[in-house]
Amino acid sequence: MGVFTWEVLLDMTIYGFLAATLCLASFSLVVFGFGDGNLGIGCNNDISPQCQTVFRARATTFTCLTWFALFLAWEMINLRRSFFRMQPGSKHYFSQWIRDVWRNKFLFWSIIGAFVTVFPIIYCPVINTVVFKLAPISWEWGIVFVETGVFFAGVEGWKFAKRIYYRRVGETARNPEEDLEKNQFSQYISIATAASENSNVGR
């Protein structure tokens, strides 16, 4: 079975639409909701005071989109199970999600690294305004946190709806829940686990 099943394609459509809607909302809120609606002139070529609003809106949208993608990487480990209940049989009701996140250390550190790189892109002089055409944000972090929470809830809601649907049609009995990490990338996890064990033995 390939990675791009009909279920995955439908998921990507739903998640993409949700992310696009929220990113458009974040930009509009900064520029038109809380700002003066000034989009500036020639802000892709020159830096001027009138470009500050649109630069801050871009930074907010950039952060939202990045965080959406990072959280989605963890959500997509399993296409139907909740992020908090990837292992239904586990007795670690409140901490199992931590174990699942840490299980794939390569994915974990990749996401953390991408998460950290957002800050120098936004706050380092020259890199922000000249290279990425962004400006440092402050109160806009409120928009980022709220929209990230909405995106996370939206993904969980969609997966919950899928679980209800597949229970009703009886698909789960004939077609077990798709675990992308286990079914498609298990060989890489096994290699990483073996390497970690050999490293521990060597010590």
Domain that holds residue 34: 6-197
Tell whether 119 is covered by a domain.
yes
- How many domains does the chain contain in total? 1
pLDDT at 83 over 60: yes
Tell whether 72 is covered by a domain.
yes
In 3-state terms, what secondary structure has residue 179?
strand
CB atoms within 10 A of CB 134: 23
Residue 162 has a pLDDT of: 93
* Alpha-carbon gap, residue 32 to 60, rounded angstroms: 14
Residue 181 in tokens: 């990490």
Percentage of the residues of the chain whose pLDDT score is greater than 70? 82
Confidence class of residue 171 from pLDDT cuts 50, 70 and 90?
low
Tell whether 80 is covered by a domain.
yes
Tell whether 185 is covered by a domain.
yes
Express each pLDDT in 9-36 by its tens digit.
Answer: 999 999 999 999 999 999 999 999 998 8
* Alpha-carbon gap, residue 74 to 86, rounded angstroms: 10
Residue 194 has a pLDDT of: 59
Tell whether 98 is covered by a domain.
yes
Query: pTM here?
Result: 0.77
Which residues, including other chains, have CB under 8 Å from residue 161's CB and lie 6 or more apart?
none
Express each pLDDT in 114-124 by its tens digit.
Answer: 999 999 999 99
Q: Which helix (H) or strand (E) holds 156?
A: helix 141-169
Tell whether 1 is covered by a domain.
no
Tell whether 140 is covered by a domain.
yes
Least trusted range by pLDDT, from 22-36, 43-57, 71-85, 183-197: 183-197
pLDDT at 74 over 80: yes
* Alpha-carbon gap, residue 63 to 71, rounded angstroms: 12
Mean pLDDT on 69-85: 89
Q: Tell me 177's DSSP state.
A: P
* Structural contact between residues 27 and 57, judged by C-beta atoms closer than 8 angstroms: yes
Q: What is the mean pLDDT of the chain?
A: 84
Tell whether 26 is covered by a domain.
yes
